[in-house]
Amino acid sequence: MVQTPSDPPWLYLPAEISAALRPVVRDIVEAIIEGIPRDVPVYAMPMEGRFGQGVRQGVTVALHRFLDLPGTRLEALSPDGKWIYESLGRGEVRSGRSLESLLAAYRYGARVTFRAISRLVDVSQMPPDVLLALGESLFAYIDEISAASAQGYAQEQSERAGEQQRLRAELLEMLLRGDSSDGGPARLAAAVGWTLPESVLVALVPFPHVEGLRAALGPDALVAERGTDVVVVLPATSTTRRRRQLDRALAGRRAVVGPSRPWQQAGESLQLATSAGAHGIGRLGHDADGAGGVRPGDAGSTVWVEDHLAELVVRAEPLATDDLARRRLAPLEGLRPPVRARLTETLLSWLRHQGQRAPIADELFVHQQTVGYRVAQLKQIFGDDLDDPEVRFELELVLRAGHR
């Protein structure tokens, strides 16, 4: 018979192999069962109960099916057989073992089977191509069994991960609702392996920027879809190092992070993050360019609401802020736009740093003499108003609100 690449290797095995082995299948099964705990230490346990029954069934089905294959084009595994080995793979996940232990047991079974064939069949009388087909058949058969178990292992992991994500999303929603009745959050947190912290942060990340978010934030983060955003609940931290870590994880995602709240009030952190996002808080920076104009800041950077509370308060009443801006910035009317932009950013920096030239110059990337020149212009334009604390406060409010 001429072998083709699509032929299974067992097509070229003589039926006498099956005839010789069938009477001693039980003995081979027992030899494999007895040797697995020695060859694969993780299975060094009595082959009893459901575990022992599963291993015994798997070995028995494997041997009987292998003996059905010589001289045929049958697939390695029947549907029932495939289900058995998928189930064994799933069982490894449930038992907390790696898949490699099960695959090692399969390889051990193949060695015992080959030795039994060598003992019961005179392999020295086999033609070389038949002997080669025997080795290929055993390898191919074990590969098929291993693949079925690997599929079951992966499916079980995926389903468990999906269930974990569902429970973590349920916990997130419970926290955002402020539902602390009957100890529900604590029980659900324990079920998903999440330590319920005293305080949390709630962050919003828009959908176009969520790829790889869970992996970037790690297991401390509860992540769930909500409307057009993904909501994240994180343990709050006051350390600079942790904030830098979160900044790196959220970099480029246009995230808005609400302020810290006790976990029972997580909904307040979400409310403030939502409001800040709706008002575009922190999305425009005002840096001096060569012409003194205003250009956008890094729109993809993370906005920490706690750094923009005053801006959020001002923008909560936009009509009143508009009126106040028209009133307080009226002296700048008639100036050319580049000049006005240059002076308003200098004025905001002057107010923020209480007139100290060095930090103003550092912030605007200009010389201190340039700061002095611009401040002199502002004092000439605004006159005595810049000496009035109330006016300075209102000017800073409208400038922080984005009015120029």
Question: Taking residues 105-114, what's their average pLDDT?
Answer: 90
For the chain, percent of residues with pLDDT exceeding 90: 45
Residue type, 143: D
Delimiting residues of CATH 1.10.490 domain(s) in the chain = 9-159
Phi-psi group of 49: left, alpha or beta (phi > 0 → left; psi -120 to 50 → alpha; rest → beta): left
Question: Taking residues 249-264, what's their average pLDDT?
Answer: 92
* CATH for 197-315, options being 3.10.50, 3.40.50, 3.30.70, 1.10.3470: 3.30.70
> Rounded CA gap, 303 and 154, in Å?
38
Question: Taking residues 54-78, what's their average pLDDT?
Answer: 91
Rounded to 10 deg, the angle between the 337-352 and 357-364 helix axes is 130
pLDDT of res. 46: 65
> Rounded CA gap, 375 and 45, in Å?
83
Model confidence at 299: pLDDT above 60: no
pLDDT of res. 288: 34
Question: Which stretches of 121-198 are DSSP H helices?
Answer: 128-177, 184-191
Q: So what's the architecture of 9-159 in CATH?
A: Orthogonal Bundle (1.10)
- How does residue 338 score in pLDDT terms, banded at 50, 70 and 90? very high
Delimiting residues of CATH 1.10.10.2840 domain(s) in the chain = 317-400
CATH, domain range 317-400: 1.10.10.2840
Instruction: Kindly report the pTM of this predicted structure.
Output: 0.56
Q: Which two tokens stand for residue 81?
A: 């057989």
Model confidence at 2: pLDDT above 80: no
